[in-house]
Structure 1
Amino acid sequence: MRPGLRGLMAAGVLAASLGLPGLPAQAANPPATSSVAWLEASAQADIDRAFAQGKGENKPVLVYWGAKWCPPCNQLKATLFNRQDFIERSRSFVAVHIDGDAPGAQKLGAHFKVRGYPTLILFSPQGQEITRLPGEAEPTQVMNLLQQGLAGGRPIKAVLADARSGKAVNANEWRTLAFYSWDTDEAQLVPAAERAALLGRLAAACPPAEADSATRLLLKALAATEPGQPVPGGAATEPRVRQLLADAAASRRQMDVLVNYAPDIARALAPKAGPAQTALVQATDAALARLQGDATLSRGDQFSALSARVDLARLDQPEDSLHPKLPKPLVQEVKTLAGRMDREITDGFERQAVITGAAHTLASAGLWQDSNALLEANLAKSHSPYYLMSQLGGNARRLGDKPGALRWYGQAWDKSVGPATRLQWGANYVSALVELAPQDEGSIEKTAGKVLAEASAQDGAFYERSARSLQKVGSQLAKWSSQGHHQAVIGRLQAQLAPVCAKLPAADGQKATCDGLFKG
């Protein structure tokens, strides 16, 4: 899948009916009479209290890490966290919310080894990680895994060790492996380079009675397969996937994987253009079209399926093509469905999730004016308009409108809210200035200096996402000055940063990040 869409729409698949097949999308979220009693955590002491409560009450602990602006996080709020069955079930576990913009949140992110928003991690009452789920997992699976935690599910590391060694693994544990967030594993269970091979072996080892788990593991193995790597499962895999695509019920059960990884799966099975690839793409497109029209899915799910169809249609076209060659009916579907979503959505969380993805897909389909118009029309409707401003900046950048891109990136940073968010948006603006206006020393120094000043006023600015934002600033400036130019600017910025780094204790993990910021 092309960069960006998975981050925008990953949680779209979370809105499938929660054990209520046939329920139309408009009725999928009954009004909540109460809410989840989230424990807000911004420091280690908060986490310690939550886990002490879990142990004392013999309850699992569910940690949710997210941010206000994040589209998949908003989809969770619109489709899962407000459901009565989830709210009622939440009384059986300790629910912990870490807002990425809380003062100590990024340090907690490092503690839990989480990077992407949103991440859901389920722990046993004793504090062992049972599993982690990315935003794209279906609510039914979230509920099943929570139930498994309530019933004493084993830690994921123990389950994987037994599966790899051929020891007995029960049906629930195979499902845990199949639905584990391998994309956000952060090399805890397996290095990323070894993931495809491991998932392929697990799929082969999965017993016949657990066919859905085996299929999911195989699909994820294909999605993780890099060019040149052997196809997991060998020659039997392609017809097996074709059979899945033709089966409406089976493909519906694997909906989130098919929607989020359709191009990756197709590329793994048929890497070269030709009849085989064309036939596979057509079969995949037909399955996605069914999902797009599935009234039991949310608007986000349906648009995610359409987005995947656009990605498939672009499979062998240049990734940077501004006006790809797509079937006219498909382009019209994108335009029509985006307009319908804009008219129908009334919930602010759902709007932040779906409209941002729709705008991305409009651009991917070459409908740049429509994408810009949708984003601009929704600025006043969004609780986090700076996210949409960044998309407008990205559109302008792709179209070669440098002044427009810098204007939107600057506005996005100016309007952004929250310490970690402001560092991230500030880093994006610095990056845009360096790329689009490298001669404008004054603006680059002024913006970078402001970002560093904000970082110096924050505790934990050199942890996790905030650290990566600052490292982005440092690497961009190092590249900008690599030919010996702008040394005076770099010197002044280094002098500004030096006392900040000096105050950090030698044993603090932040110090190395701070000291190495301008070393490229």
Structure 2
Amino acid sequence: MKIRYLAFAAMMFAAAPALSLAAAEKSAVPAAAAGIDWYEGDVDAAFAFAKTHNKPLFLYWGAAWCPPCNQVKATIFNRQGFIERSRFFVPVHIDGDSPGAQKLGARFKVRGYPTMILFKPDGTEITRLPGEVDAERYLKTLTLGLSANRPIKDTLQLALSGKGKLTADDWRLLGYYSWDTDEQQLVSSKDLLPTLKRLAAACPPGDTAKRLALSVLVAAATAKPEAAAAVDPTAAAQLSRVLSDARSARDNMDLLTNYPAELVGLASAPKSAPRAKLIAAWNLAMQRLTADATLSKADRLSALAAQVSLARIETPTGALTPALVKDVRQQVAQADHATTDIYERQSVMSTAAHTLSEAGLLDESDSLLKAELKRSHSPYYFMLSLASNAKKRGDKPAAINWYEQAYQAAQGPATRLQWGAAYLNGLLELAPQDDARIEQVAHSVLQELGMTQNAFYERNRSVLEKLGHKLADWNANGSHDAALRRIQSQLDGVCAKLPVGDPQRATCQGLLSPTRA
């Protein structure tokens, strides 16, 4: 693999001149990634440059506040290995709050932050890169993508048809494809589980087959309730094999730390001996990862958070063991002290505060979050976590206050829409009787929406559709008809300003359609 990459890199370096950034806007690019010639602004020009100079294109879609995005900036984009590879592709950055970003999001089918896509010089999508694996695994997957002879879509079809011979690298690209950010590019949501099952069955034995088999379990465990699988008696054995192998557990750390409760629920019955055995094995694996100094601080804290999640499976509201509580406090304090990079802190402190909160240490979580308000470049993100902690305490006024502060402090049109929706959702849940305040916040959100260009695309559209359903549920019994009619009237005014042929107009008009008589 290394020889293939070096040969490819040498060819690209000899053939392609450097990308001019004279007109680029670099203010949104972190100093940690200053060694990368990020292309910002005219994305079509970047694709034209890539095609003319026969260079792949790497598209990064993110947001300033997003913890995983900041983790990527602090642990991947600043690595010399990534910076060196960036010379051989056209790196394009799209901030979700930049003008036209949401329309670009619809074009490239990117919604979740971060999404990272590698394209061929002709604009064909090669693969989507996983954002939550450790840096070494990420760079290996990026190298595989740069060396790939075909788009991942074609590789998937070959794998499923059984008519073509796939290399080990082809299978690795499939195994580490970012299914979470696929947005149904390769596989529809309803077909994801059966497709992963077919891939896992067809993959030659080895590490990639284990990864695909684990992905099958995750897809089954996280399926919608109507499609949820019954307890799978074979899942416990599969999970145990991965958990007992330190290297396998590390390679699949993202899946094991993100879905412990769901996977345990799929693999074992409540209060059973197999469940106790599986949880014990999982805890040991997470303890190894928490102590692994080669992992990032955020990854180690994620493994610690998984231990808390495991402890909550059988006793959701019970007290944690003193040893685990002590470990949570110590690990969080160490991470707080050791994390000085502002981008890394956005990720690490988010995970740390969440871990404290899940461990029942709400006051300590609050203290950490409030201290971060003075340090963070996006403090409004942490205000939502403070609102969540207040909700856990049952302190509705404090929760609503934090939602309000977060909305007031939020920056950027897409972010302000999302934070405004969070504030409005908080009111609908915690103060549903306060029609005046709900109407006031809705008015503010819709007023800004009407002044935002291309406001009804992709991530924005998803936020608005969910908000429309929340408002419909709020008025299910008709007790808020008057307020909702005024909100609808304001929305109608926003929709009317959109050109008749603009697809956004139909989206806008459908947002509150469930409430219409």
TM-score, normalisation: structure 2: 0.88
The answer for the alignment partner of 1:88 in structure 2 is 84
The answer for the alignment partner of 2:209 in structure 1 is 214
Tell me if structure 1 keeps the 8 A contact 2:117–2:129.
Answer: yes
1:231 shift after superposition:
7.6
- 2:210 matched to 1:225? no
Name the aligned partner's letter for residue 471 of structure 1. Answer: E
Give, in whole Å, the separation in 2 of the partners of 1:486 and 1:280. 49
Name the aligned partner's letter for residue 153 of structure 2. Answer: K
CA distance 1:156–1:330, change in 2 (3 Å): same
1:217 shift after superposition:
0.5
Q: Which of 131, 135, 139 is 1:139 aligned to?
A: 135
Tell me if structure 1 keeps the 8 A contact 2:129–2:141.
Answer: no
Alignment of 1:391-402 (within 5 A): 391-402=385-396
- 2:455 matched to 1:461? yes
Alignment of 1:346-361 (within 5 A): 346-361=340-355
Alignment of 1:319-468 (within 5 A): 321=317, 324-468=318-462
The answer for the alignment partner of 2:484 in structure 1 is 490
Name the aligned partner's letter for residue 330 of structure 1. Answer: L
State the identity as a percent: 51
Tell me if structure 2 keeps the 8 A contact 1:416–1:422.
Answer: yes
Q: Which of 48, 52, 55 is 1:52 aligned to?
A: 48
Secondary structure, counterpart of 1:38 in structure 2: coil
Give, in whole Å, the separation in 2 of the partners of 1:264 and 1:495. 42
The answer for the alignment partner of 1:37 in structure 2 is 37
The answer for the alignment partner of 2:278 in structure 1 is 280
Q: Which of 305, 308, 314 is 2:306 aligned to?
A: 308
Name the aligned partner's letter for residue 38 of structure 1. Answer: W
Give, in whole Å, the separation in 1 of the partners of 2:72 and 2:228. 36
Name the aligned partner's letter for residue 356 of structure 1. Answer: S
Tell me if structure 1 keeps the 8 A contact 2:134–2:296.
Answer: no
CA distance 1:435–1:253, change in 2 (3 Å): closer
Secondary structure, counterpart of 1:225 in structure 2: helix
CA distance 1:371–1:492, change in 2 (3 Å): same
The answer for the alignment partner of 1:293 in structure 2 is 291
1:187 shift after superposition:
2.1
Q: Which of 173, 177, 183 is 1:176 aligned to?
A: 173
Give, in whole Å, the separation in 1 of the partners of 2:151 and 2:500. 34
1:483 shift after superposition:
2.2
TM-score, normalisation: structure 1: 0.88
Name the aligned partner's letter for residue 175 of structure 2. Answer: A
The answer for the alignment partner of 2:6 in structure 1 is none
1:32 shift after superposition:
6.6
1:418 shift after superposition:
0.4
Give, in whole Å, the separation in 2 of the partners of 1:417 and 1:175. 39
Q: Structure 1 stretches (4+) deviating beyond 6 angstroms?
A: none
Secondary structure, counterpart of 1:64 in structure 2: strand
Tell me if structure 2 keeps the 8 A contact 1:107–1:464.
Answer: yes
CA distance 1:150–1:247, change in 2 (3 Å): closer
Alignment of 1:17-36 (within 5 A): 34-36=34-36
1:33 shift after superposition:
9.4
Q: How many residues align?
A: 478
Tell me if structure 2 keeps the 8 A contact 1:174–1:213.
Answer: yes
- 2:70 matched to 1:71? no
1:257 shift after superposition:
2.4
Name the aligned partner's letter for residue 39 of structure 2. Answer: L
CA distance 1:446–1:260, change in 2 (3 Å): same
> 1:410-459 CA distances to partner (integer Å, 9 max, x unpaired)?
00000000000001001111111122222222211111101000000001
Name the aligned partner's letter for residue 310 of structure 2. Answer: L
Secondary structure, counterpart of 1:173 in structure 2: helix
- Name structure 2 gaps, 5 residues minimum: 1-30, 222-226
Give, in whole Å, the separation in 2 of the partners of 1:125 and 1:249. 35
> 1:178-232 CA distances to partner (integer Å, 9 max, x unpaired)?
0011122222222333323322321221113xx1111110111111114753788
Bigger Cα displacement from structure 2, 128-137 vs 184-193: 184-193
Higher RCO (CA-CA < 8 Å; seq separation 6+): 1
